């Protein structure tokens, strides 16, 4: 009897302990996995890299006066200190996913994915570098260090170029263990798995960043021409995304504005430059971008940066991004880098090296490529291009013209703020915004609050938004 | 009467010789309350011994006593205990009077009623009467100021809004970690979380803490168990203290009916001040459409330009609020026989908030039964159904929008005839009428307790309970209708409908065996062994439809863009425990407990943790000779450890998905939070010493405690730089120490037949200190709150500094040769004034975040006075929290928009006191306004926008307060009147809550918080739902 009780108790304890262990085994997260499919990451990073171009463009477009706020003395318009924590976090979140995809690709011998990761990392790091300069990279992303240290701005810039070189080398390899799908629904939203186009994009980006050194002694026209020669040859090569969750983010801006949540207002400077009443050469791209006002005699009116709206803001007294505009319709492409940009880079470098005929040809081709892409009617396109204020002839070509037409053709793209700073904002008639809180043009951003509060010890001191970054000195 | 007396004396004298020499006899009798109703379960103890019993359902008792000069002590929860000198008679009728918050018996862990004298730790009980008097809608609020060591802050005055209760300071540092006590209702653990899951809106819409579901009229008493030893038996769930709620139960006999009806009105108790001189515009130029609410010209100047301008500016903070009201009706019926007792209650509560379009409603039905089968088996099923919810408003957004709304326009003029928004920009009142969030909670709390007493030395108790609720939340807003001149409320976007389906279930099972043994006359022991299982399952599905096709049809079926997501959570914990109490001669008591938890949320190998406790109580007045004035004296001490696990799924890192709707492709991204496989449980060690003294015939009492809590291995989601690859990392990140004292003084200065005065004073202070944080980290950011141009305030943990510190930008101080630690601010030093540049002549901002204040009060206290004169009872409670600061976001906005009273000096010039960078005094005269000043210099946006609003130091204000929390007057309708009618008893009570507030804080009442009641981020306020003052009248009738 005693034995019986003893064994019963013992077996109860054993069963109890075993079932207890099972009872407690419920800590496997039913909502989220601990690893992700590589194509799910590729989809994410191609989509989000384009969105980061938008997010940065949503700041820089006010600095280059494409857009203006409907509110008087809006901080972005007037160079007041803005907190770009959201943009900063998005840039690093996407770089984190790129980092994971690259690690996964490297482990699997998927050189294609690895190459794409390098190129996309360069794009995002380039955006960070051009806004802030010094920023975490070498100790970032892994989670090992909660407070990553800041790499020097020059180191980050060098990293952008080396990432592109590494990406090019990887994309040139054959025998990737996993190949990117090349179907129309490929998770590679940018080039649908086409490595040739990725290589061209990598070279185009290389040309962009090498050209950014124009104010520095490192400026190397030969290298830029070399990169350009391996980059785009037509509009068909462009790097863009037009697959979105619901809509192109600029369309979301336009739709919200149409729903009286005021945003996406065109700057007075932009509208005036496009109307060009001085030379009487109306830019046919403006109607493809902007809404018309309620005034039949003045269909296009911009808003002065820093001034804010004139009336109530809801009576079509100004021009806004159109919900059906070329850059702001539901399925509009969101460009990362384009063929016309390479042509304008070529024009600029050729101009700087005194090869005026080449510069002039590239300049005209840049305008034409952009207008062709936008489906500007041939007659209007030719009328604009052939106008003496545009077709000035190779000898009369100026850097201002190249930069102005580049600025027009790269509407909303953040690279134009890099250009503006290199060019010291010397666009025709470009002036400080109304109610500017700085005496000169803006040159950089202050580090965002999220970094100052979470990584304060590492954040470099920044005096002011008018301090020039190293390549802008 | 005289005859009776004579007879009694005759009997006593005749019987005397028979008993005077006898050694053992049996005393019998009945115990009733002052209305003549029998009191069951009254403790009857022979003084100086552990010989005792309890009364039966009819209030009867029978106790064998030995010795001469026998004194019996009768005690019962909520009643004043009474001593009876036993004479020669063997039969006594004892009447216990109600009153006195401190009683002899308290309900402790696991619902065990224990004699207070035997407790080696502090426990304080509040009777239901004291709670009901305040007529608070939320049971947590009703405890305010009544209990030492308990800090309660209402999140705000929203209908049904959650309140935050913290006992003995913050012990878990994680911003979202639960520091609130465990709620136990009739022995069953109850969920008191404030669920905000999955929706940012929910965390700012003043959701209820789930204890708000309880009908305060159902509560018999509440015990607060503060210390570790008190709570060891609840394990980690009780590591923040335990609130033990006992509900009313029936008494055998005739059917009783109790009906209570309360009606009240409420209003905002304090508004921010505004300047009334300058109207809408910018740079002094009038503009009736600009966002700049108050940077225009004077009202007179504006009226010269615009004849439609009102002759006085509107105080839109005041006009944005209305009078609220509340009504509660509850009825309870009880009765039965010895073997079957039933209580049932029904209540309905409805509150309309002071913020337009906010309300809350609560229905509750409760059935409580006690069944007895023979003498060995008792059985008690209880069921409670609650339906609650209402329209919740986003008060933060509302007050922010009120700040954007110019006082040139009346905020109450908000709607056009066609139903669209009136006004030059977003009108917040219109917003609350169309952008609506509603919750609908259906909750069942059921439990079954059974007791089997086969022999007199052994009891077996089982309690099984279920607490299940569903919460259906809906957030919806229409889209623009496309009418000419229509202005859309911007938060509505193109219209949306968001539906949440939340369910939560907690199952508890608790088995305890109790062995009692008396070892001779001086020793007794009680040993309890038990097992405890808790399983919680949470499930949420969210469906969103946006961009409505028909703008006003609020259904997902009508939306162009649809999205869904889901979250599930499982959590389980199994425990085994033992509890041994030893009593020696009824004056020395030792209690030892041990408990082991096995938790599902920690990794195997780390998920089993043991913690012990020991406590000692010594009633020295029953052992040593004592002075006559001292009736009772006790010393107590305890040491305990409590472990605490973490939330589910925090031991790994995950990937999250989202969908590209247009192409139906799934994207994956690394989750923002990184867990750690080897997380260890947090451990809190508590050392507590205390004493209880009562004297002058129990007319005065002192209860004092000192404690020290060390919480190690804190599990904290540390916010980290997003560049690290994660937004937060969960880790065992440090140690925090809390030290404090608690003092309760009770007194009855006057006690006569017709008039009595009782007073209770609570005082407590808690000091805490972050002892260490994880190696490699210098600080942990808990939360931050927006302020213009870098004035964002941040809560951080830094070793060597207390929890609750608020950091932000300051005016730069002139340190000269003094060393600047870059962390603190030396306010004795002169402010540095810019000598050159655009801000020349103005103070220089220092962007380094420095300590500007602390959100934890230095001390808190409350004084309750109760005066009873014949049928009138007057009671009032003063409450205070002293020595703490809060960041006032509203003041930051008021400075930015020129609304604040001090910005009215904009047309003046002044010389800022301070020194230039070289240390020489500043002499430069500057203009305080915008634009070009009288000196011809262009001051652009002006001092208040260029400098003042960017300095957090200006907005971290002293949030100390004293308030008349509660004043109530009760008139008990004389029994002579009621008895002749059908009432047994009736009373009417007038109550005022939050009647007076004394504080230096500039905005709304600083009691409200910008974060929901479950959050540890309590340093930020300003735009929170304002606190309210309420006036109530309540009628209580017993049939």
Q: What is the pLDDT of residues B251-269, one digit of tens each?
A: 777 788 889 898 999 999 9
Q: Indicate the burial class of A139 (C-beta count within 10 angstroms; 0-12, 13-18, 19 or more).
A: middle
Residue B1018 has pLDDT above 80, yes or no: yes
Confidence of residue B370 (pLDDT cuts 50, 70, 90): confident
Is the ipTM value over 0.85, yes or no?
yes
d(CA B663, CA B856): 51
- Give the Cα separation of A293 and A290 in Å (integer): 9
Q: Do B599 and A24 touch (CB under 8 A)?
A: yes
Q: How far is A256 from chain B (nearest CA, A)?
A: 7
**Nearest by CB: A244 against B485, B649, B660:** B660
Inter-residue contact B94 to B125 (CB < 8 Å): no
Looking at residue A135, its pLDDT comes to 97
Residues of B in contact with A41 (CB under 8 A): 667-669
Q: Do B649 and A29 touch (CB under 8 A)?
A: yes
**Across the interface, do A255 and B479 touch by the CB < 8 Å criterion?**
no
Contact in structure between B149 and B764 (CB atoms under 8 Å) = yes
What pLDDT was estimated at residue B19?
Answer: 40
Length of chain A: 473
Q: Check B494 against A311: CB less than 8 A apart.
A: no
* Mutation site for B-interface testing, chosen from A12, A13, A31 by largest number of B Cβ within 10 Å: A31
Q: How far apart are the first and last CA of chain A?
A: 95
Q: Residue B232 in contact with residue B319, Cβ under 8 Å?
A: no
Three-class SS state of B351: strand
Q: Does B658 contact A245 at a Cβ distance shorter than 8 Å?
A: yes
Predicted confidence at residue A83, as pLDDT, reads: 87
State the pairing for strand pair B113-115/B105-107.
Answer: antiparallel
**Most confident by average pLDDT, A8-12, A230-234, A295-299:** A230-234
> Across all residues in chain A, what is the average pLDDT?
93
- Give pLDDT, residue B745: 92
Confidence band, pLDDT 50/70/90 cuts, at residue A315: confident
pLDDT over 70 percentage in chain A? 96
Q: What is the pLDDT of residue B410?
A: 95
In chain B, residues with a C-beta closer than 8 Å to the C-beta of A447 are: none
What is the chain A residue with the closest CA to B424? A312
Range with the poorest average pLDDT among A62-71, B899-908, B1012-1021: B1012-1021
Higher pLDDT pick, B952 / B128: B952
| Statement: the pTM of the whole predicted model exceeds 0.90 | no
The model's confidence at residue B445, banded by pLDDT at 50, 70 and 90, is confident
Strand A239-241 with A334-337, pairing: antiparallel
Instruction: Kindly indicate the confidence band of residue B109, based on its pLDDT and cuts at 50, 70 and 90.
Output: low
Mean model confidence pLDDT for chain B: 85
| Residues of chain B found within 8 Å of residue A40, distances taken between Cβ atoms | 655, 657, 666-668
pLDDT attached to residue B244:
83
The verdict on a CB contact (< 8 Å) between A47 and B667 is yes
A72 CB near a chain B CB, below 8 Å? yes
pLDDT value at A298 more than 60: yes
φ/ψ region of A159 (left if φ > 0, alpha if ψ in -120 to 50, else beta) reads alpha
Q: Is the dihedral of CA B1001, B1007, B1008, B1012 positive or negative?
A: positive
User: Taking 60 as the threshold, does the pLDDT of residue B139 lie above it?
Assistant: yes
Task: Return the bridge partners of B599, or none.
Answer: B573
pLDDT at B709 over 80: yes
What is the average per-residue pLDDT within B558-572? Answer: 93
Report CB contact under 8 Å: A20, B574. yes
Shortest Cα distance, chain B CAs vs residue A382, angstroms: 37
Mean pLDDT of B631-655: 90
From CA B857, how far away is CA B882, in angstroms rounded?
5
| Mean pLDDT across A148-162 | 97
Residues of A in contact with B292 (CB under 8 A): 72-73
Q: Residue B8: what pLDDT?
A: 45
Residue from B487, B569, B725 to probe the interface with A (highest A Cβ count within 10 Å): B725
In chain A, residues with a C-beta closer than 8 Å to the C-beta of B721 are 136, 146-148, 450-451, 454-455, 458
Digit-coded pLDDT (tens) for A449-460: 889 878 888 999
CB atoms within 10 A of CB B841: 23
* Chain B residue with Cα closest to A29: B649
Q: What is the pLDDT of residue B1014?
A: 62
Residue B822, pLDDT above cutoff 70: yes
Question: Is A119 touching B (CB cutoff 8 A)?
Answer: no
For the cut 70, the answer to whether the pLDDT of residue A16 exceeds it is no
Q: How confident is the model at residue B552 (pLDDT cuts 50, 70, 90)?
A: very high
Q: Which among A34, A142, A260 is the nearest to B652, CB-wise?
A: A34
CA B515 to chain centre: 37
Paired sense of beta strands B805-811 and B182-185, if any: unpaired
* B658: its two tokens: 């989202």
Judge contact between B691 and B704, C-beta under 8 A: yes
Q: Which of A42, A206, A210 is nearest to A116 (CA)?
A: A42
For residue A189, the distance in angstroms to the closest alpha carbon of chain B comes to 11
Structure tokens at B562: 């649809």
Give residue B91's pLDDT.
80
Q: Which residues of A244-261 are buried (b: 16+ CB within 10 A; e: fewer)?
A: bbbbbbbbbbbbbbbbbb
Question: Tokens representing B137?
Answer: 């809608």
How close A30 comes to chain B (CA, Å)? 7
pLDDT at B3 over 80: no
In the prediction, which pLDDT does A435 show?
84
**Burial of A414 from C-beta contacts in 10 A (0-12 / 13-18 / 19+):** buried
Q: Are residues B147 and B140 in contact, defined by beta-carbon separation less than 8 angstroms?
A: no
Q: How far is A313 from chain B (nearest CA, A)?
A: 9
- Give the per-residue pLDDT at B716: 80
Interface size, chain A vs chain B, as Cβ–Cβ contacts under 8 Å: 227
The confidence band for B15, taking pLDDT boundaries of 50, 70 and 90, is very low
What is the predicted pLDDT for the residue at B196?
A: 54
- Give the pLDDT mean for B871-890: 92
All residues of chain A having their beta carbon less than 8 Å from the beta carbon of residue B658 are 245
Q: What pLDDT is recorded for position B22? A: 42
Residue B356, Cβ density class (10 Å: 0-12 exposed, 13-18 middle, ≥19 buried): buried
Task: Choose from B435, B668, B837, B851 for mutation: most chain A CBs within 10 A.
Answer: B668
Inform me whether the C-beta atom of residue A451 falls under 8 Å from chain B C-beta atoms. yes
More confident residue, A36 or B749: A36
The answer to whether B871 and B1034 are in contact (CB under 8 A) is: no
Ranking A121-130, B317-326, B417-426 by mean pLDDT, the lowest is: B417-426
Residue A440 to chain B, least CA–CA distance (Å): 12
DSSP designation for B721: -
CB B474 within 8 A of CB B499: yes
By Cβ distance, the residue of A93, A187, A246 closest to B665 is A187
The SS3 call for residue B190 is strand
Whether the pLDDT of residue B102 is over 50: the answer is no
Q: For residue B448, which of B463, B469, B470 has the smallest C-alpha distance? A: B463
A23 touches chain B (CB under 8 A): yes
Beta carbons of A146 and B720 less than 8 Å apart: yes
Answer whether residue B543 shows pLDDT above 50.
yes
Residue B101 has pLDDT above 50, yes or no: no
Give the confidence band of A442 by pLDDT, cuts at 50, 70, 90.
Answer: very high
Q: Model confidence at B158, in pLDDT bands (50, 70, 90)?
A: confident
Q: How far is B569 from chain A (nearest CA, A)?
A: 8
Yes or no, beta carbons of B778 and A457 under 8 Å apart: yes
């Amino acid at each position: 009897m005693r034995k019986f009780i003893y064994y019963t108790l013992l077996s109860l304890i054993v069963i109890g302990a075993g079932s207890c262990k099972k009872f407690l085994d419920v800590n496997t997260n039913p909502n989220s996995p601990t690893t992700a499919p590589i194509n799910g990451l590729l989809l994410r990073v191609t989509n989000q890299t384009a969105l980061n171009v938008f997010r940065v463009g949503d700041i820089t477009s006010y600095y280059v006066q494409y857009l203006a706020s409907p509110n008087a003395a809006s901080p972005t318009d007037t160079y007041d200190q803005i907190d770009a924590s959201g943009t900063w976090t998005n840039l690093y979140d996407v770089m984190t996913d790129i980092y994971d995809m690259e690690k996964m690709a490297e482990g699997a011998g998927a050189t294609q994915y690895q190459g794409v990761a390098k190129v996309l990392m360069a794009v995002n790091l380039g955006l960070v570098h051009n806004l802030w300069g010094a920023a975490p990279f070498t100790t970032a992303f892994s989670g090992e260090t909660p407070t990553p240290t800041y790499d020097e701005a020059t180191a980050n810039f060098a990293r952008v170029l080396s990432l592109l070189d590494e990406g090019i080398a990887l994309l040139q390899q054959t025998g990737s263990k996993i190949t990117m799908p090349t179907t129309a629904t490929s998770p590679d939203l940018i080039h649908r798995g086409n490595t040739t186009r990725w290589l061209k994009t990598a070279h185009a980006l290389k040309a962009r960043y090498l050209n950014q050194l124009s104010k520095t002694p490192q400026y190397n026209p030969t290298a830029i021409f070399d990169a350009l020669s391996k980059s785009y040859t037509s509009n068909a090569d462009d790097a863009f995304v037009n697959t979105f969750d619901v809509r192109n983010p600029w369309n979301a801006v336009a739709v919200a504005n149409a729903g009286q949540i005021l945003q996406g207002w065109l700057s007075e400077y932009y509208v005036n430059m496009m109307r060009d009443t001085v030379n009487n050469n109306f830019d046919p791209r403006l109607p493809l971008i902007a809404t018309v006002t309620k005034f039949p005699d003045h269909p296009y009116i911009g808003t002065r940066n820093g001034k804010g709206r004139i009336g109530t803001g809801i009576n079509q007294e100004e021009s806004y991004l159109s919900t059906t505009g070329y850059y702001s319709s539901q399925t509009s492409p969101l460009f990362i880098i384009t063929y016309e940009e390479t042509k304008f880079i070529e024009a600029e470098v050729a101009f700087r090296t005194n090869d005026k005929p080449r510069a002039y040809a590239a300049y005209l081709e840049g305008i034409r490529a952009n207008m062709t892409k936008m489906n500007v009617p041939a007659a209007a396109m030719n009328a604009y291009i052939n106008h003496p204020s545009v077709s000035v002839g190779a000898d009369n070509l100026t850097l201002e013209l190249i930069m102005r037409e580049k600025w027009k053709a790269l509407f909303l793209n953040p690279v134009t703020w890099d250009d503006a700073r290199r060019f010291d904002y010397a666009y025709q008639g470009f002036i400080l915004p109304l109610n500017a809180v700085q005496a000169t043009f803006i040159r950089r951003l202050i580090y965002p609050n999220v970094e100052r509060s979470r990584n304060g010890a590492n954040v470099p001191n920044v005096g002011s938004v008018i301090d020039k970054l190293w390549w802008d000195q | 009467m005289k005859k009776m007396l004579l007879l009694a004396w005759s009997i006593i004298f005749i019987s005397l010789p028979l008993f005077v020499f006898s050694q053992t006899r049996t005393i019998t009798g009945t115990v009733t309350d002052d209305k003549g109703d029998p009191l069951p379960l009254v403790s009857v103890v022979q003084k100086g011994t552990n010989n005792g019993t309890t009364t039966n359902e009819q209030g009867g008792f029978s106790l064998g006593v030995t010795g001469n000069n026998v004194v019996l002590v009768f005690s019962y929860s909520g009643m004043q205990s009474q001593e009876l000198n036993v004479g020669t008679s063997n039969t006594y009728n004892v009447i216990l009077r109600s009153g006195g918050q401190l009683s002899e018996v308290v309900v402790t862990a696991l619902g065990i009623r224990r004699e207070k004298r035997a407790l080696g730790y502090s426990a304080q009980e509040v009777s239901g009467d004291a709670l009901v008097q305040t007529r608070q809608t939320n049971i947590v609020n009703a405890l305010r100021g009544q209990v030492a060591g308990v800090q309660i802050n209402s999140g705000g005055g929203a209908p049904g809004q959650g309140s935050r209760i913290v006992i003995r300071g913050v012990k878990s540092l994680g911003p979202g970690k639960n520091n609130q006590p465990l709620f136990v209702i009739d022995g069953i653990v109850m969920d008191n979380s404030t669920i905000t899951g999955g929706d940012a809106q929910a965390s700012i819409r003043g959701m209820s803490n789930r204890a708000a579901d309880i009908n305060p009229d159902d509560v018999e008493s509440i015990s607060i168990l503060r210390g570790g030893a008190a709570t060891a038996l609840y394990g980690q769930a009780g590591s923040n203290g335990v609130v033990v709620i006992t509900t009313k139960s029936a008494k055998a006999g005739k059917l009783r009916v109790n009906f209570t009806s309360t009606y009240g009105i409420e209003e905002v108790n304090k508004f921010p001040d505004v300047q009334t001189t300058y109207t809408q515009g910018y740079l002094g130029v009038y503009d009736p459409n600009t966002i700049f609410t108050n940077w225009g010209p004077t009202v007179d100047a504006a009226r010269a330009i615009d004849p439609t301008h009102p002759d006085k500016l509107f105080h839109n903070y005041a006009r944005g609020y209305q009078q609220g009201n509340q009504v509660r009706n509850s009825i309870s019926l009880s009765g039965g026989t010895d073997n079957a007792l039933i209580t049932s209650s029904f209540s309905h509560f409805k509150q309309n908030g002071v913020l337009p379009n906010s309300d809350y409603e609560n229905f509750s039905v409760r059935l409580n039964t006690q069944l007895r089968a023979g003498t060995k088996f008792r059985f008690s099923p209880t069921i409670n159904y609650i339906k609650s919810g209402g329209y919740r408003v986003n008060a933060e957004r509302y007050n922010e929008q009120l700040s954007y709304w110019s006082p040139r326009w009346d905020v109450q003029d908000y709607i056009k005839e066609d139903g669209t928004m009136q006004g030059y920009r977003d009108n917040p009142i219109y917003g609350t009428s169309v952008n609506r969030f509603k919750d609908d909670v259906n909750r069942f709390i059921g439990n079954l307790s059974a007791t089997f007493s086969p022999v007199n030395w052994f009891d077996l108790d089982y309690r099984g309970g279920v607490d299940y609720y569903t919460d259906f939340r809906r957030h919806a807003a229409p889209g623009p209708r496309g009418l000419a001149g229509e202005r859309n409320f911007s938060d509505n976007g193109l219209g949306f409908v968001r539906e949440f389906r939340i369910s939560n279930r907690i199952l508890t099972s608790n088995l305890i065996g109790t062995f009692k043994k008396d070892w001779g006359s001086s020793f007794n022991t009680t040993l309890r062994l038990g097992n405890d299982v808790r399983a919680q399952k949470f499930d949420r599905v969210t469906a969103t439809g946006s961009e409505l096709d028909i703008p006003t049809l609020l259904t997902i079926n009508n939306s162009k863009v649809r999205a869904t997501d889901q979250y599930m959570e499982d959590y389980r914990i199994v425990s085994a425990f033992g509890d041994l109490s030893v009593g020696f001669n009824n004056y020395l008591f030792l209690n030892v407990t041990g408990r082991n938890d096995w938790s599902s949320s920690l990794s195997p190998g780390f998920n089993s943790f043991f913690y012990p406790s020991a406590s000692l109580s010594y009633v020295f007045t029953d052992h040593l000779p004592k002075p006559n004035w001292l009736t009772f004296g006790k010393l107590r001490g305890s040491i305990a450890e409590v472990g605490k696990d973490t939330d589910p799924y925090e031991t790994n890192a995950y990937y999250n998905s989202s969908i590209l709707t247009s192409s139906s492709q799934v994207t994956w991204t690394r989750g923002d939070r990184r867990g750690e496989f080897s997380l260890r449980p947090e451990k809190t060690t508590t050392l507590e010493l205390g004493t209880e003294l009562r004297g002058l015939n129990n007319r005065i009492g002192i209860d004092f405690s000192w404690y020290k809590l060390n919480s190690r291995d804190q599990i904290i989601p540390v916010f980290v730089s997003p560049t690290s690859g994660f937004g937060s990392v969960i880790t065992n990140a440090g140690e925090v120490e809390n030290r404090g004292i608690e003092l309760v003084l009770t007194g009855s200065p006057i006690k006569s037949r017709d008039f009595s005065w009782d007073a209770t004073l609570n005082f407590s202070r808690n000091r805490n200190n972050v002892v260490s944080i994880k190696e490699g980290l210098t600080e942990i950011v808990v939360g931050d709150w927006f302020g213009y141009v870098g004035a964002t305030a941040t809560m951080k943990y830094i070793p060597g500094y207390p929890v609750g510190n608020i950091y932000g930008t300051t005016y730069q101080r002139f340190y000269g040769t003094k060393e600047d630690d870059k962390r603190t601010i030396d306010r004795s030093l002169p402010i540095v004034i810019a000598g050159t540049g655009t801000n020349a002549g103005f103070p220089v901002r220092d962007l380094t975040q420095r300590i500007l204040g602390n959100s934890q009060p230095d001390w808190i206290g409350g004084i309750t006075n109760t005066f009873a004169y014949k049928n009138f009872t007057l009671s009032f409670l003063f409450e205070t929290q002293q020595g703490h600061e809060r960041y006032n976001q509203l003041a930051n906005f008021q400075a930015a928009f020129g609304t604040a009273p001090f910005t009215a000096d904009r047309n003046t010039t002044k010389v800022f006191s301070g020194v230039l960078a070289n240390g020489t005094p500043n002499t430069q005269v500057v203009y305080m306004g915008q634009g070009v000043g009288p000196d011809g210099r262009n001051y652009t946006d002006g001092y208040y926008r260029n400098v003042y609003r960017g300095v957090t130091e200006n907005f971290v204000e002293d949030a100390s307060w004293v308030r008349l929390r509660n004043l109530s007057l009760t008139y008990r309708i004389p029994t002579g009147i009621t008895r002749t009618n059908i009432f047994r008893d009736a009373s009417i009570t007038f109550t005022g809550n939050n009647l007076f507030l004394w504080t230096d804080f500039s905005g709304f009442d600083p009691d409200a918080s910008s974060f929901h009641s479950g959050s540890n981020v309590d340093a930020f306020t300003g735009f929170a739902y304002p606190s309210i003052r309420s006036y109530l009248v309540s009628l209580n009738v017993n049939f």
